[in-house]
């Protein structure tokens, strides 16, 4: 089976089965992994910050700029038609990736952050009043906190927070108590970037819907690891970022139910989002274009589509199964190190290992690991309330992807031991 | 390849483990807070000024080994110094950790720095310059009597947030 050939491997072949998952062949697809850092082979364990890109994504970008570069939805000429087709094809790929009912429910935005801001500034501004409430959770990234705070400040609305336990799991019974007549939206992460917790979003959506409250899911950390089915979940909004899904930076998706999107006012005004303009009155375009003012990020949308193709070829089920094995191994090995404590021990977890070392600041650990060629994130992970909840200033975070290996986990363990030796 | 042992010298590890003058000073005549948003390091510098001279200095806070050791060694270095002497030492220290030439066109002289010379390795680690200089910027503000919280994150290449 020619798993190295990126182009010939269609979905639904036996390569989707875990038996055929060959991490070493997969690594061949990622040129950036083939380098030395500080004289050591690169061990890239910062995938929750951003993922690396397979050659097929780089090729798609190159192909667009060398063959098809043109503006979309405008020209009648050949290049514009090619660009438009590639751009809209990517929308359909995103639709299928999320199992959305229709492609017009896929809005291209800069990323998860912009997607959440869009909902807060359009849906929120239209539907929120003084005394209304937004429910988020204790493990949110700043990008699913601050847009709601801005909205609350503007409207005199109130932010409510679902608490979590010491393992980093949300307390659903507390969530039910927070829901009331004034709740206008529930916005929670699918997967926590700082802890790795996979939230029971199906249950959360069900509970919220019982109270007739719509739900936005921040899927930035989930999309690279978990099969998403927005219809099955019945979520109202879902957001993701291409760059965490092996695609380019600067592009992402806001999924919204068509009826909700249609009722929302536009986010930005400009070209492409209108159907007619006079100085007296402007008629807005239909969704999704109503929310895509100006020339979009065409190349990166096409690259994003290539990233989805790549993930589909490897198969999310294979990815999830492999990563789970790697996570279990890494957790076992790291917890053997004296003085190491893992932060985030939820039963349902994605491949994120946040940890602290007794008496050693994560920043020092990060510098020493970097000298070993190991890239990890150190700091508060844009989730300062999470750090406050655990009473720590920061953690060291190793976040895994399906191209990481057991050998790389071993390198991390050796590196962490070196850190503890230096500070012994 | 940069030198890890140049960064984490024994003196730095020792001051990290046993920081000197690590206490609040209720009778302080001057104090200032420093905060690094990127890594969460916090430091407060307390000064007791006797006219133009620093008669006592202490610090509190939490941070990485580099920032803790830097604050600790700072307190040893500036006690008894005049305002101008302390500021001059800051300049020399800053040149050392950023790898810049000093103001008079010469590379900082290690002998002028005394114990501070152990931070020479920092210049090899641009991401750590802000850790080493946080306490010094905070000292500067304390001397100026400025109430503004010092932030050294711009010492690094680009401040910003990443998931």
Residue B156 has pLDDT above 90, yes or no: no
**What integer is the mean pLDDT of B47-54?**
94
What is the reported pLDDT for A25?
96
Q: Which residue of B has its CA nearest to A423?
A: B13
The three-state DSSP-derived secondary structure of chain A is: CCCCCCCCCCCCCHHHCHHHCCHHHHHCCCHHHCCEECCEECEECECCCCCCCCHHHHHHHHHHHHHHCCCCCCCCCHHHHHHHHHHHHHHHHHHHHHCCCCHHHEEEECCHHHHHHHHHHHHHHHHCCCCCEEEEECCCCHHHCHHHHHHHHHHCCEEEEECECCCCCECHHHHHHHCCCCEEEEEEECECCCCCEECCHHHHHHHHHHCCCCEEEECCCCCCCCCCCHHHHCCCEEEEEHHHHCCCCCCEEEEECHHHHHHCCCCCCCCCCEEEECCCCEEECCCCHHHCCCCCCHHHHHHHHHHHHHHHHHCHHHHHHHHHHHHHHHHHHHHCCCCEEEECCCCCECCEEEEEECCECHHHHHHHHHHCCEECEEECCCCHHHHHHHCCCCEEEEECCCCCCHHHHHHHHHHHHHHHHHCC
User: Is the Cβ–Cβ distance between A333 and A413 less than 8 Å?
Assistant: yes
A82 CB neighbour count, 10 Å cutoff: 16
User: Is the Cβ–Cβ distance between A389 and A194 less than 8 Å?
Assistant: no
- Please indicate if any CB of chain B lies within 8 Å of the CB of A352: no
Contact: B163, A38; criterion CB under 8 Å? no
Instruction: List residues bridging with A282 in a β-sheet.
Output: A277
Q: pLDDT band at B148, cuts 50/70/90?
A: low
Q: Which residues of A are less than 8 Å from B162 in CB distance?
A: 49-50, 377, 382
What is the reported pLDDT for B127?
87
Catalytic residues of A: 382
What is the reported pLDDT for B152?
66
Q: What residues contact A312, with CB distance under 8 A and at least 6 apart?
A: A11, A97
Q: Which residues of B are less than 8 Å from A40 in CB distance?
A: none
Reported ipTM? 0.83
As given in the structure block, the two tokens for residue A123 are: 């849906």
- Residue among B42, B65, B131, B163 with most chain A CBs within 10 A, to mutate: B163
User: Is the Cβ–Cβ distance between A410 and A337 less than 8 Å?
Assistant: no
In this predicted model, which residue has the larger pLDDT, B99 or B79? B79
pLDDT < 50 positions in chain A: 1-18
pTM: 0.90
Task: State the nearest Cα–Cα gap between B41 and chain A, in angstroms.
Answer: 8
- Please indicate if any CB of chain B lies within 8 Å of the CB of A35: no
| Nearest by CB: B40 against A49, A221, A393 | A393
What is the reported pLDDT for A13?
40
> How far is Cα A120 from Cα A293, in angstroms, rounded to an integer?
17
Give the least confident one: A152-166, A188-202, B38-52, B106-120: B106-120
**What integer is the mean pLDDT of B30-57?**
91
Contact: A363, B66; criterion CB under 8 Å? yes
What is the reported pLDDT for B110?
56
Q: Report the SS3 class of residue B123.
A: helix
What is the reported pLDDT for B39?
72
What is the reported pLDDT for A231?
98
What is the reported pLDDT for A10?
41
Contact: A221, B163; criterion CB under 8 Å? yes
- Please indicate if any CB of chain B lies within 8 Å of the CB of A364: yes
What is the reported pLDDT for A5?
39
Task: State the nearest Cα–Cα gap between A39 and chain B, in angstroms.
Answer: 7
What is the reported pLDDT for B101?
63
| Nearest by CB: B64 against A363, A380, A382 | A363
What is the reported pLDDT for B162?
39
Q: What residues contact B49, with CB distance under 8 A and at least 6 apart?
A: B29, B30, B55, B83
């Amino acid at each position: 089976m020619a798993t190295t050939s990126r182009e010939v491997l269609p979905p639904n072949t036996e390569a989707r089965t875990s038996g055929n998952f060959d991490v070493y062949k997969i690594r061949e697809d990622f040129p950036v992994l083939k380098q030395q850092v500080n004289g050591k082979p690169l061990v890239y364990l910062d995938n929750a910050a951003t993922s690396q890109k397979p050659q097929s994504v780089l090729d798609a970008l190159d192909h667009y700029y060398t063959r098809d570069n043109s503006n979309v939805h405008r020209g009648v000429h050949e290049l514009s038609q090619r660009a438009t087709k590639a751009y809209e094809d990517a929308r359909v790929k995103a639709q299928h990736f999320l199992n959305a009912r229709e492609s017009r429910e896929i809005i291209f935005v800069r990323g998860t952050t912009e997607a959440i801001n869009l909902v807060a500034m359009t849906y929120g501004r239209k539907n929120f009043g003084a005394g209304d409430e937004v429910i988020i959770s204790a493990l949110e990234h700043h990008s699913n906190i601050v847009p709601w705070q801005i909205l609350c400040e503007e409207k005199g609305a109130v932010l409510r927070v679902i608490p979590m336990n010491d393992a980093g799991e949300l307390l659903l019974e507390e969530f039910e108590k927070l829901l009331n007549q004034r709740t206008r939206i529930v916005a929670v992460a699918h997967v926590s970037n700082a802890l790795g917790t996979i939230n029971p979003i199906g249950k959360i959506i069900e509970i919220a819907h019982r109270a007739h409250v719509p739900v936005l899911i921040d899927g930035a950390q989930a999309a690279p690891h978990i099969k998403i089915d927005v219809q099955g979940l019945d979520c109202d909004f879902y957001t993701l970022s291409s760059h965490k899904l092996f695609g380019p930076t600067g592009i992402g998706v806001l999924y919204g139910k068509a009826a909700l999107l249609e009722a929302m006012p536009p986010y930005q005004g400009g070209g492409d989002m209108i159907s007619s303009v006079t100085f007296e009155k402007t008629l807005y375009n239909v969704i999704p274009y109503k929310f895509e003012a100006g020339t979009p990020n065409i190349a990166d949308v096409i690259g994003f589509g290539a990233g989805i193709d790549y993930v589909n070829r490897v198969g999310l089920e294979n990815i999830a199964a492999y990563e789970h094995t790697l996570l279990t191994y890494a957790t076992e090995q790291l917890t053997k190190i004296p003085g190491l404590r893992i932060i985030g021990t939820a039963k349902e977890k994605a491949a994120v290992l946040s940890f602290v070392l007794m008496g050693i600041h994560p920043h020092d650990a990060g510098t020493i690991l970097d000298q070993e060629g190991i890239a990890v994130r150190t700091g508060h992970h844009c989730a300062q309330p999470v750090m406050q909840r655990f009473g720590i200033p920061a953690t060291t975070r190793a976040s895994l992807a399906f191209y990481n290996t057991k050998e790389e986990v071993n390198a991390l363990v050796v590196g962490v031991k070196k850190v503890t030796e230096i500070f012994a | 390849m940069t030198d890890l042992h140049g960064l984490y010298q024994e003196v730095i590890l020792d001051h990290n483990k046993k920081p000197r003058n690590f206490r609040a000073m209720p009778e302080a005549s001057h104090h200032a807070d420093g905060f690094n948003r990127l890594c969460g390091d916090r430091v407060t510098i307390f000064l007791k000024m006797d006219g133009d001279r620093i008669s006592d200095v202490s610090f509190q806070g939490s941070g990485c080994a580099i920032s803790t050791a830097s604050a600790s060694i700072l307190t040893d270095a500036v006690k008894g110094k005049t305002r101008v002497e302390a500021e001059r030492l800051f300049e020399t220290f800053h040149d050392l950790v950023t790898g810049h030439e000093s103001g008079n066109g010469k590379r900082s002289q290690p002998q002028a720095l005394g114990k501070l010379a152990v931070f020479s390795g920092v210049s090899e680690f641009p991401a750590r310059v802000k850790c080493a200089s946080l306490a010094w910027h905070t000292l500067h503000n304390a001397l100026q009597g400025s109430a503004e919280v010092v932030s050294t994150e711009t010492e690094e290449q680009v401040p910003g947030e990443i998931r």
